[in-house]
A and B are shown apart, each in its own frame.
Chain A
Amino acid sequence: MDSFIVHTGTAVPLRRSNVDTDQIIPAEYLKRITRHGFEDGLFSAWRRDPAFVLNDPAYAGASVLVAGPDFGTGSSREHAVWALQDYGFRVVISSRFADIFRGNSGKGGLLTAQVPQDVIERLWAVIEADPAAEVTVDLEKRQVSAGEVVAAFDVDDYVRWRLMEGLDDIGITLQYVDAIADFEENRPSWKPTTAS
């Protein structure tokens, strides 16, 4: 995984709350067995509406998504993270994220920056007034800035460290394989197995 320290790019205002993962990528696209190529599925139902913000050429090439509260609710599909990344997003900023989506994002290298809703409103104002306005997300300083707006964002310490180092979780855990084996030695014998 590439490390993430600071990212600067233009941003899309998504003035919606409760953006569930079925909206981010509908189930139909989940039949694919590959890890990439989900950009066509991103918000595919909403993108059929010419007035949807992602269809506005002024926001083409944006890499930061600024959304309302409860972003990523619903299904655990990590395809939602992949679709956002494949489309070109590196950061999602929201006033509240669903737990599973946020966890998945951290694994895949998509930064989820949480700020209070009033900061979201101010960011929306900046990027709606000037779609070319650059938004800088500094993971080291935990700070988002755009125009006059400068605000701290919330991110889990451990996720921040992993993203900045670009580390693979499984590799980290396998350092503790002896501890896992010790734990297994002491599991009660009545715990079930799936062997028939």
Chain B
Amino acid sequence: MGRTLAQKVWDDHVVRRAEGEPDLLYIDLHLVHEVTSPQAFDGLRATGRPVRRPDLTLATEDHNVPTTDIDKPIADPVSKAQVDALRRNCEEFGVPVFSLGSREQGIVHVVGPQLGLTQPGMTVVCGDSHTSTHGAFGALAFGIGTSEVEHVLATQTLPLKPFKTMAITVDGDLPAGVTAKDVILAVIAEIGTGGGQGYVLEYRGSAIRGLSMEGRMTICNMSIEAGARAGLVAPDETTFAYLKGRDHAPAGTEWEAAVEYWSSLRTDEDAEFDAEVVIDASALSPFVTWGTNPGQGLPLSASVPSPDDAADEVDRIAIERALEYMDLAPGTPLREIAVDTVFVGSCTNGRIEDLRAAAEVMRGRRVADGVRMLVVPGSVRVRLQAMDEGLDTVFTEAGAEWREAGCSMCLAMNPDKLAPGERSASTSNRNFEGRQGPGGRTHLVSPQVAAATAVTGRLSAPADLAPVA
């Protein structure tokens, strides 16, 4: 019987297989950041173990770093201590690190792809659940905990039990104004936050084929929000065109050899998935979340649901609790929800196409009175490219704040936070209670919806806006 894409990548990385034990898988690329690594490096020191392959390891500073005044020392002493610890650890163990102020610094999942380090058929791990992003290249990429970070540092392998596979087929044409973010929010609403648990998702179908690499990254990024550790898309000409010429992409005859191998990385016709979900692209519309987990999403044209709509008792309690936390009344049209803050950025939507899309909506318009809009590029390279294109001016002339690169308000480890009770429209990936600051309330949206919301002050799509005079 044929194999799925995920199975092929898995099989090509098995170092050791034994009955009754997990497979030992080789890891091609280990990305590291300051938050989930210090205890792992401590573990190496305690046992006298070196990093086996520093040349397959790369660190960047992203979660804690400020997005203003980056030429000054980090003001928060605890954040500074953590960033300093990463620099010391990388120095001691010989791991390359992109520090704040470097042209290569940025969010770990933006940095890998833009350098061409993420390639089809690779295994990629990082102590960060959004490592699933790299699956857009047809890589098997997933988040790991700190014990596993230490394991990979010491051995360049991980013992893993095979995943089940699920096909998510999105066929048809996406209507105008519907983006990759809307697709993945609709997928999560369909299968739930636990629906992908135990699976690797493979996104297929004409709507996925039609997406750019950046759109595919947005989709794979949020696989974890459906409970799946990894999600991937088979590599194709779009993938190869993105990679060609990047810093770490193969060149010359090696490029030819790589493309030949990459072209074999697709699910065989006779392969069987353990589960399949089909989504009609033409029926999708801009999607937003109303609750406190990413599965609690609806089309923007809908209204806040009622606990009475719940499928069961567990769901009823979850809806009640979410409505209380979000301070929303059942039946309220989503378009009437007013926000205080708009955040454009994160490993989900902080790449150049996302900034272009948001800027296109903002051009010639103003951020509504009383609304704060933060635009945080995913990396320094993205920031510089946006400035080359004049996008920074579009944002600042509209009244938005143009910031330095980092994770920022996606998880509020740096000073960019919501105040208690504040409400945001955010292009990030998690609307958990307090995720963007204690007591803060988050609605997940696409960059286009974020920008339109900034203009009106209420959840809106670009189609809701009056034409620019």
Q: Give A contacts to B, CB under 8 Å.
A: 15-18, 20, 22-23, 26-28, 30-35, 45, 68-70, 73-79, 81, 96-100, 103-104, 107-108, 117, 156-158, 169-170, 172-174, 176-177, 179-180, 183-184, 187-196
Contact = CB atoms under 8 A, between A and B. Distances in A.
B64 A31 contact: yes
A107 B145 contact: yes
A194 B58 contact: yes
B155 A99 contact: no
A31 B413 contact: yes
Contacts of A34: 39
A74 B96 contact: no
17 contacts: A30-B63, A31-B78, A45-B438, A70-B197, A73-B293, A76-B127, A77-B36, A81-B145, A103-B145, A104-B147, A107-B147, A117-B314, A184-B156, A189-B254, A190-B258, A192-B28, A192-B29
Contacts of A99: 197-198, 227-229
Given A22-B434, A73-B293, A108-B147, A100 B229 contact: yes
Contacts of A96: 194, 197
Interface string B116-158: 1101001000011100000000000011111110110011110
Given A73-B194, A100-B143, 6 more contacts: A17-B318, A33-B39, A74-B129, A78-B146, A100-B224, A103-B144
A33 B49 contact: no
B56 interface: yes
Contacts of B197: 70, 96-99
Listed from nearest, the 10 A-B pairs whose CB atoms lie closest are: A104-B145, A107-B147, A78-B145, A33-B38, A190-B250, A190-B254, A76-B143, A194-B58, A78-B146, A76-B129
Interface residues of B, number: 87
B350 to A, nearest CB: 17
A178 to B, nearest CB: 10
Contacts of A76: 36, 127-129, 143-145
Contacts, number: 208
A27 B412 contact: yes
A27 to B, nearest CB: 5
A20 B294 CA distance: 11
Contacts of B144: 76, 100, 103
A196 B129 CA distance: 26
Interface string B11-32: 0000110001110101011000
A17 B314 contact: yes
Interface string B253-282: 011011001000000000000000000000
Given A189-B254, A190-B250, A192-B29, A169 B159 contact: yes
A45 B434 contact: yes
B56 A193 contact: yes
B193 interface: yes
B109 interface: no
A172 to B, nearest CB: 7
Interface string B422-453: 00000000101111001000000000000000
B113 to A, nearest CB: 12
B400 to A, nearest CB: 24
Contacts of A69: 194, 314
B35 A30 contact: yes
B32 to A, nearest CB: 10
A172 B85 contact: no
Nearest to A1: B147
A25 to B, nearest CB: 11
Contacts of B318: 16-18
Contacts of B55: 193-195
B258 A20 contact: no
Given A27-B413, A33-B85, A157-B20, A188 B57 contact: no
Contacts of A117: 314
A192 B49 CA distance: 24
Nearest to A107: B147
B393 interface: no
B193 A70 contact: yes
B314 A192 contact: no
B82 interface: yes
Contacts of A16: 317-318, 321
A107 to B, nearest CB: 4
Nearest to B229: A99
Interface in B279-305: 292-293, 295
A98 B413 contact: no
A33 B37 CA distance: 8
Nearest to B57: A194
Nearest to B78: A31
Contacts of A158: 20-22, 159, 161
A99 to B, nearest CB: 5
Nearest to B131: A76
B193 A73 contact: yes
A179 B96 CA distance: 26
Nearest to B47: A170
Contacts of B26: 180, 183-184, 187
A179 B293 contact: no
B155 A30 contact: no
A156 B161 contact: yes
Contacts of B261: 188
Interface in B232-260: 248-250, 254-255, 257-258
